Amino acid sequence: MSRQGFSIIGKALPKIDAMAKCTGETRYADDLHFSRMVYAKLLRSPHPHALIRAIRTERALSLEGVYAVITGRDLPVRYGISPATEDEEALASEKVRFVGDPVAGVAAASETVAEKALGLIDVDYEPLRPVLSVEEALVAEGELRIHSWNRRANIQKAVSFEFGDVEQGFEQADHIFDETFFYEGNTHLPMEQYCAVAFYGPDGKLTLWSSTQTPHYLHRALSKVLGLPMSRIRVIATPVGGGFGGKSEPFSHEICVAKLSMITGRPVKITLTREECFYVHRGRHPVKMRIKTGVKSDGTLQAMHFQSFLDGGGYSSYGLATVYYTGALQTVVYKLPGYKFEGVRVFTNKPPCGPKRGHGTPQPRFAVEVHLDAIAEKLGMDPIELRLKQLVEPNTVTVNGLRITTTGLRECIERLAAKAEWKKKFRQLPYGQGIGFASSAYISGAGLPIYWNDMPHSGVQIKLDRGGGITAFCGSIDIGQGSDSILAYVVAEEFGVDPADVRVVTADTDLTPVDLGSYSSRVTVMTGNAAIQACRKLKDTLLRAAADALEIPADDLEFAEGKVRCRSFRDRAISFVECVQKAEAKFGTLGAMGSYRPPKHPANYRGSGVGPTPAYSYSASIVELRCDADSAEVKVDKVWIAHDCGRAFNPLLVEGQVEGSVYMALGEALMEEQVFRKSGLHKLPSMLDYKSPTALEMPEVETILVETNDPEGPFGAKEAGQGPLLPVIPAVTNALYDAIGVRIHEIPITPDKVLRALEGRLKPVSVPSFEFPPPIRWQPGEGVEVQQKS
Amino acid sequence: MEIASETAKTLLEVLREDLGLTGTKHGCELGECGTCAVLMDGKPVLSCLVLGVEAEGADVATIEGMMQGGQPHPLQRAFADLGAAQCGYCIPGILLVAKALLDSNPHPGRDEIREMLSGNLCRCTGYTKILDAVEMAAKGRGDL
């Protein structure tokens, strides 16, 4: 037995699929091959905004080796990840809304023939003026309206809230700070391109293998668009070669291969090119922000007014949630007595934006933490002191109705500051070198599902084999974060066996109970809790059999070391296998189900569904860097990061998530940008031109894990995959100020911006003037009483 | 091994499509990401930029050949033990490039490892555990 009575939890074990991934055995979607398989390609719009007058496919169809050609007429049903904004077509039928919007699909004997066939499809476009900025989108009329379903201009959603007493907060403030910020969009860039294979068999059943983070939502969308009942569709999510949020909604290529297979009766595969991946996108929204904050002279926050303007691209995608997320979590880190949030997401003629690691949160976190750093300086305070005096407390409800269970942020900050020798270095390093700090919080799984329903968010089924084998079935999909291993660890811990004796079957809608998917950092908490419930049901059955066999009361028995044994006299035991056989003889075939649904959240206002979670993770980071005064290039020397993950199931995996988050944050902070020409073309659609950090740019990272043992988490665990990205970006910005005395209010911080800032030529970010709707007002205590678990 | 293949096919395509050796992955097919790296006569090459016919007579090592006698290479063991493979998609290429490094320089410094792997992009790990794993394999012990 190791620490705190756990045998598996807390150990640095290799992942259960580690060796398969290190030997080339793992089969990703593009590694699948079937006899008679044909290959699909999609024809994409070269225009950012155009009407489709006609599409002629005859020439393509008559090409030797072409099996089928489809257009928007074949797939007229609209879909979209959010049921409130289903505005996508698998193939655009009347209008294209960004360069890369697909208009036709081909299945052919080879990719080469399919490519050739695309060139034989004639599309008659009537180009329209494109809308490429938030400012234009907010006032668009006539032909500049990108969609017709939304009420006004190119506004997808505008929201406004007022929590607590904002007016009074500002009145009582000694100082008011008002600043603007801009966070450029960037993309996920997973190493694996999008890929899907479909087969519609002679039994009238469709199987789709796809590199997807959300097989269940894909299952629903396929059924809706193809007109097939879900019972005739099987979605198998293949191991995902990098997701980061980019593979978490139904995509055109997935629906098109399914349709092409239904037409041809053959397996159909599609693998998108890297260039196509840049256009499919669904990545980080470009966001302009304005923050006005009222503070007391001692640094206490009185009120904040936060505005966000999101450039959403051509379709809604997850945008409804994103706009709320840019406002929801400001209250979870520091106490805010009054908070006003206004946000708007617009359509533009660019690839649609969606969720990327941290979904809607990195942008405001960047702005708020840089803003606070500036406030601390103006008040003559240490920026860490300013934060420490107003951290959100455990077991409280925030001003916007979010329920806090545990928080380890104070411990994170104190240990971090000691490790990095903050007091010795802050404002003490020579010119050109600097140190910066920021902190953050993130959700461990969204409190609500994407489509409204009362069913569980995660289900786990466990089957016991009479040879002692344990199989766990769950709809969750491993995208590299290790969710398959986590499931095996939980089951092994519960039954007192080796994780190697647990087989997991995941992400197959025919075989596994629904799990909503690998997004919102939800899997460990939700599948973990579901798995524990299933295990404990089964253990009750096993214990009854063992109690009879050993003639010891069940509550004096435990599962450990491959046995069921007496707690007091450990040699009085039967093996796990024997116990299973006795139980099967007594009760019949052994299996159990467990499921999990997050607790109700306290707030009850419209829009309160985005932000709640079973538990928030907390992170803090200190970055040390240098900036060359001539080239203005920034080199990060070291990143310290402390993360409250509740409980580290496997410290290796948690560290891996933290280090990966730091890496992705540094890429966003310093180089990555998804930017477009006036023609709507991507400026940098290749892995060479879209700069991301290599092993040479990645600094050493020192990770501190803080464990708070959250009552909502399985064995106390919270999330680790997204939260640690958040504090790093503002910490870089704050460190740069410490180094050279300029505050850059724009991400990424590229050398040209640093030079302009040094020369005093970097203009402040302008935010659009826009009249938001009247606010929804809500006061703490108005909602539902939710009991805290102990 | 002898194989007949279309002359226009890249080594990547010959390996994956003609030989069914899907352990070699691809991320761009333009020579930008390093994912498809294999060893040709012991030297790393990007298989998407090499024609199959150029590999005629050469000794081509892919990830499938890295285990010897059913035993994983020390690099494979170190990568697995340290959690250096998250999604794992870039790992076959990285393992082979790391092998080429250790074959020519058994005890590289961390900066030499960084330099050697700088052509292989990884989006999951931040390279940290990858660098640790190469160091651990170079040291030849499991207690790093």
Domain ranges in chain A?
35-128+191-242+247-280, 287-448+603-758, 456-596
Q: Render pLDDT for A8-64 as a digit per residue (tens, 0 to 9).
A: 999 999 999 999 999 999 999 999 999 999 999 999 999 999 999 999 999 999 999
- Write out the H or E segment, with its range, that includes residue A256: helix A252-264
Interatomic CA distance for residues A257 and A268, integer angstroms:
6
Both B54 and B101 in a single domain? Answer: no
Is B89 in contact with B125 (CB distance < 8 Å)?
Answer: no
Pick the CATH number of A456-596 from 3.40.50.150, 3.40.920.10, 3.30.365.10, 3.30.230.10: 3.30.365.10
pLDDT score for A107: 98
Structure tokens at A341: 């949030």
Structure tokens at A501: 């004796």
Domain boundary among B20, B42, B65: B65
pLDDT score for A167: 97
Both B83 and B132 in a single domain? Answer: yes
Q: Rounded to a whole number, what is the distance in Å from the CA of A35 to chain B's nearest CA?
A: 13
**Are B27 and A18 within 8 A, CB to CB?**
no
DSSP strands (E only) in A169-265: 175-183, 195-200, 206-210, 233-237
Cβ density class A222-251: b for 16+ within 10 Å, e for less: bbbbbebeeeebbbbbbbbbbbbbbbbbbb
- Of A11, A20, A181, which is closest to residue A504 (Cα–Cα)? A20
Contact A410/B at CB under 8 A: no
The range of the structural domain enclosing residue B39 comes to 11-65
- Neighboring chain B residues of A696 at a CB cutoff of 8 Å: 114-115, 118
- Of A587, A602, A412, A612, which is closest to residue A525 (Cα–Cα)? A612
Search chain B and give the residue with CA nearest A277: B28
Interatomic CA distance for residues A448 and B86, integer angstroms:
28
Confidence bin at A786 (pLDDT 50/70/90): low
Q: Do domains A35-128+191-242+247-280 and A287-448+603-758 have the same CATH topology?
A: no
Q: Is residue B144 part of a domain?
A: no
Q: Is residue B57 part of a domain?
A: yes
Structure tokens at A369: 């933490």
Count of CB atoms within 10 A of residue A674's CB?
26
Contact B85/A at CB under 8 A: yes
- Of A787, A434, A364, which is closest to residue A600 (Cα–Cα)? A787
pLDDT score for A782: 80
A716: Cα separation from own chain's centroid: 21
A287-448+603-758: what fold?
Aldehyde Oxidoreductase; domain 4 (3.30.365)
pLDDT score for A5: 84
Q: Is residue B58 part of a domain?
A: yes
Q: Rounded to a whole number, what is the distance in Å from the CA of A25 to chain B's nearest CA?
A: 6
Cα radius of gyration rounded to whole Å, chain B:
15
On the CB side of A156, how many CA atoms lie within 13 Å of its CA?
Answer: 30
- Neighboring chain B residues of A22 at a CB cutoff of 8 Å: 72, 76, 79-80, 85, 88, 91, 95
Both B128 and B102 in a single domain? Answer: yes
**Are B20 and A33 within 8 A, CB to CB?**
yes
Q: Rounded to a whole number, what is the distance in Å from the CA of A206 to chain B's nearest CA?
A: 25
Q: Rounded to a whole number, what is the distance in Å from the CA of B133 to chain A's nearest CA?
A: 12
Residue A157 in 3-state DSSP?
strand
Search chain A and give the residue with CA nearest B113: A695
Nearest to B79 among A22, A188, A650 (CB): A22
Which residues touch A501 (CB under 8 Å, ≥6 apart)? A468, A469, A470, A492, A562
Please check the confidence at residue A790 and state whether its pLDDT lies above 60: no
- Of A144, A106, A120, A110, which is closest to residue A59 (Cα–Cα)? A120
Q: Rounded to a whole number, what is the distance in Å from the CA of B128 to chain A's nearest CA?
A: 7
**Mutation for testing the A interface, residue in B124, B125, B134 having most A CBs under 10 Å:** B124
Domain A35-128+191-242+247-280 classified CATH 3.50.50.60? no
Partner B, chain A 425-484, Cβ-Cβ below 8 Å: 479-482
Interatomic CA distance for residues A697 and A701, integer angstroms:
12
**Cα dist from A281 to A315, A331, A599, A674, B46, whole Å:** 11, 30, 33, 9, 26
**Are B89 and A192 within 8 A, CB to CB?**
yes
pLDDT score for B143: 40
Please check the confidence at residue A3 and state whether its pLDDT lies above 80: no
Interatomic CA distance for residues A736 and A734, integer angstroms:
5
**Are B118 and A695 within 8 A, CB to CB?**
yes
Partner B, chain A 634-653, Cβ-Cβ below 8 Å: 650, 652-653
**Are A659 and B128 within 8 A, CB to CB?**
yes
Is A535 in contact with A494 (CB distance < 8 Å)?
Answer: yes
Q: Rounded to a whole number, what is the distance in Å from the CA of A752 to chain B's nearest CA?
A: 24
Q: Render pLDDT for A323-335 as a digit per residue (tens, 0 to 9).
A: 999 999 999 999 9
pLDDT score for A1: 38
Q: Render pLDDT for B26-52 as a digit per residue (tens, 0 to 9).
A: 999 999 999 999 999 999 999 999 999
Q: Render pLDDT for A242-279 as a digit per residue (tens, 0 to 9).
A: 999 999 999 999 999 999 999 999 999 999 999 999 99
C-alpha dihedral, A231 to A233 to A236 to A237, nearest 10°: -100
Amino acid at A513: P
Q: Render pLDDT for A467-524 as a digit per residue (tens, 0 to 9).
A: 999 999 999 999 999 999 999 999 999 999 999 899 999 999 999 999 999 999 999 9
Residue A618 in 3-state DSSP?
strand
Q: Render pLDDT for A58-71 as a digit per residue (tens, 0 to 9).
A: 999 999 999 999 99
DSSP lists the bridge partners of residue A127 as A50
Structure tokens at A122: 């004639």
Question: If you average pLDDT over residues A692-703, what whole number do you get?
Answer: 98
Q: Rounded to a whole number, what is the distance in Å from the CA of A263 to chain B's nearest CA?
A: 25
Contact A274/B at CB under 8 A: yes
Is A112 in contact with A118 (CB distance < 8 Å)?
Answer: no
Both B133 and B84 in a single domain? Answer: yes
Count of CB atoms within 10 A of residue A466's CB?
13
**Are B80 and A656 within 8 A, CB to CB?**
no
pLDDT score for B142: 42
On the CB side of A782, how many CA atoms lie within 13 Å of its CA?
Answer: 14
- Neighboring chain B residues of A686 at a CB cutoff of 8 Å: 28, 30, 32
Residue A433 in 3-state DSSP?
strand
pLDDT score for A4: 65
Both B134 and B79 in a single domain? Answer: yes
Structure tokens at A687: 């892995």
Q: Render pLDDT for A191-237 as a digit per residue (tens, 0 to 9).
A: 999 999 999 999 999 999 999 999 999 999 999 999 999 999 999 99
Search chain A and give the residue with CA nearest B121: A694
Is A350 in contact with A314 (CB distance < 8 Å)?
Answer: yes
**Mutation for testing the B interface, residue in A23, A272, A653 having most B CBs under 10 Å:** A23
- Of A693, A701, A694, A642, which is closest to residue A669 (Cα–Cα)? A693
Q: Render pLDDT for A350-399 as a digit per residue (tens, 0 to 9).
A: 999 999 999 999 999 999 999 999 999 999 999 999 999 999 999 999 99
Interatomic CA distance for residues B49 and B33, integer angstroms:
12
Both B47 and B23 in a single domain? Answer: yes
Cβ density class B72-103: b for 16+ within 10 Å, e for less: bbbbbbbbbbbbbbbbbbbbbbbbbbbbbbbe
- Of A721, A748, A720, which is closest to residue A732 (Cα–Cα)? A748
Both B134 and B88 in a single domain? Answer: yes
Partner A, chain B 11-50, Cβ-Cβ below 8 Å: 16, 20-30, 32-33, 35
Amino acid at A492: A
CATH number at residue B33: 3.10.20.30
Sign of the four-CA dihedral B60, B63, B64, B68? positive
Strand pairing class (A175-183; A746-747) = parallel
Q: Say how many domains are in chain B.
A: 2
DSSP strands (E only) in A465-579: 470-474, 502-506, 557-560, 563-566, 573-575
Both B78 and B134 in a single domain? Answer: yes
- Of A211, A212, A259, A207, which is closest to residue A234 (Cα–Cα)? A207
Q: Please, what is the angle between helix B74-82 and helix B128-139, to 10°?
A: 140
Q: Render pLDDT for A424-482 as a digit per residue (tens, 0 to 9).
A: 999 999 999 999 999 999 999 999 999 999 999 999 999 999 999 999 999 999 999 99
**Are B29 and A190 within 8 A, CB to CB?**
no
Search chain A and give the residue with CA nearest B116: A695
A563: Cα separation from own chain's centroid: 39
pLDDT score for A500: 87
Contact A18/B at CB under 8 A: yes
pLDDT score for A772: 98
